[in-house]
């Protein structure tokens, strides 16, 4: 079964074009699934039944795994068994009749306009670190990029004169995203001054670099945003994704249509973007309760 897993992960990379992070998540979920099956005496793919899969999901629930994580595991299991059918290793998919665990839709955390301003103000100063951090935060808020898309940006993919960038998102899909004037100015200040000091020979093709001149990593940027939020006095537990949520929420609050926001975020399905309409409705409801005489 582990040989099949290796083939499946290769299929995700080559045929589906999924990112390394997604591949790792599938591999982790399926390894746990196959270990469970082995302990139950299921060592051949043809032996696996729907009851086995239901037992595995029950095992996860009893182990304290939440419904969202269990649903993700079931999604991986379904795709894995579908792959086995495509490759003619089995005749049926035992996962098709298993119902996904119901998940509560948690509204995404986002920053207010004043909190965004405070976060940017926490990068005040002319040091290389301040200039770079402000450019990254401004660009993230201006475009709604995923953190992986932000750190993988290359110099040639950003056109500050025209005010747009090209990024490659999930499923290796490219999209064009506009950049606001403020973000363009901050990124230009970084590129024209700070970045040259980090990479004087011009060997690195990436836009954002570490102190050592290497490409910025997701983990390093995570630390940057945590540090800047502390300096800004923001009490919320924010992450790079919080700025992506803030980008989408603020656009919709100011009249952007859902379809345009979907395109800029790179969501394959409009239903994924629709969660932000719930955010704006919740905020309007709270405002009404606070302000209206009979709220």
Provide the greatest CA pair distance for the chain.
67
Active-site residue flag, 146: yes
Q: Single out the catalytic residue among 132, 206, 250, 267.
A: 267
Active-site residue flag, 105: no
Q: Single out the catalytic residue among 59, 175, 241, 283.
A: 241
Check residue 53 and give left, alpha or beta (phi > 0: left; psi -120 to 50: alpha). alpha
- Rg of the chain on CA atoms, in Å: 23
Q: What is the pLDDT of residue 163?
A: 95
Q: What is the pLDDT of residue 18?
A: 83
Active-site residue flag, 170: yes
Mean pLDDT, consecutive 10-residue stretches, the chain (295 aa), reads 89 86 91 93 88 92 87 91 92 84 66 95 94 97 94 95 91 88 95 90 93 93 95 91 91 85 85 71 61 58
Contacts made by residues 205-213, CB under 8 angstroms, sequence distance 24+? 205/154, 205/155, 205/156, 206/151, 206/152, 206/153, 206/154, 206/155, 207/153, 207/154, 207/155, 207/157, 207/158, 208/132, 208/135, 208/136, 208/150, 208/151, 208/153, 209/132, 211/128, 211/129
Q: What is the pLDDT of residue 273?
A: 78
Whether 152 and 218 have beta carbons less than 8 Å apart is answered as: no
- Show me where the domains of the chain are located: 2-86, 113-291
Q: pTM of the entire structure? A: 0.64
Active-site residue flag, 286: no
Q: Single out the catalytic residue among 146, 228, 245, 250.
A: 146
Burial bucket for residue 13 (CB in 10 Å: 0-12, 13-18, 19+): middle
Q: How far apart are CA 13 and CA 193, in angstroms?
A: 38
Active-site residue flag, 294: no
Q: What is the pLDDT of residue 290?
A: 66
The CATH number that domain 113-291 falls under is 1.10.443.10
Q: How far apart are CA 231 and CA 286, in angstroms?
A: 28
Which residue has 């839709």 as its token pair? 105
Q: What is the pLDDT of residue 275?
A: 76
Q: Tell me if the domain spanning 2-86 has CATH number 1.10.150.130.
A: yes
Burial 34-63 (b: 16+ CB within 10 A, else e): bebbeeeebeebeebeeebbbebbebbeee
Q: Single out the catalytic residue among 42, 59, 170, 218.
A: 170
């Amino acid at each position: 079964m582990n040989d099949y897993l290796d083939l499946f992960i290769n299929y995700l990379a080559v045929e589906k074009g999924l990112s390394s992070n997604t591949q790792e998540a599938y591999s982790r979920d399926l390894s746990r699934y196959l270990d469970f099956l082995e302990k139950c005496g299921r060592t051949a793919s043809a032996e696996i039944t729907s009851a086995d899969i239901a037992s595995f999901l029950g095992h996860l629930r009893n182990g304290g795994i939440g419904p969202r994580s269990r649903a993700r595991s079931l999604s991986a299991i379904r795709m894995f068994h579908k792959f086995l059918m495509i490759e003619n290793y089995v005749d049926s998919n035992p996962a098709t009749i298993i119902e996904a665990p119901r998940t509560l839709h948690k509204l995404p955390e986002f920053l207010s306009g004043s909190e965004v301003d405070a976060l940017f103000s926490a990068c005040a100063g002319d040091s290389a670190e301040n200039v770079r951090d402000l450019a990254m935060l401004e660009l993230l808020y201006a475009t709604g990029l995923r953190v992986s898309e932000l750190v993988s940006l290359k110099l040639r993919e950003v056109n500050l004169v025209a005010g747009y960038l090209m990024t490659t998102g999930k499923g290796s899909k490219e999209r064009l995203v506009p950049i606001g004037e403020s973000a363009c100015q901050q990124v230009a200040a970084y590129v024209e001054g700070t970045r040259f000091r980090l990479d004087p020979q011009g060997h690195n093709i990436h836009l954002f670099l570490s102190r050592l001149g290497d490409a910025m990593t997701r983990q390093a940027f995570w630390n940057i945003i945590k540090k800047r939020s502390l300096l800004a006095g923001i009490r919320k537990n924010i992450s790079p994704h919080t700025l992506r949520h803030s980008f989408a929420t603020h656009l919709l609050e100011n009249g952007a249509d859902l379809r345009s926001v979907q395109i800029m975020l790179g969501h394959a399905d409009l239903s994924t973007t629709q969660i932000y309409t719930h955010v704006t409705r919740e905020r309007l409801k709270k405002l009404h309760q606070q302000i209206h005489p009979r709220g």
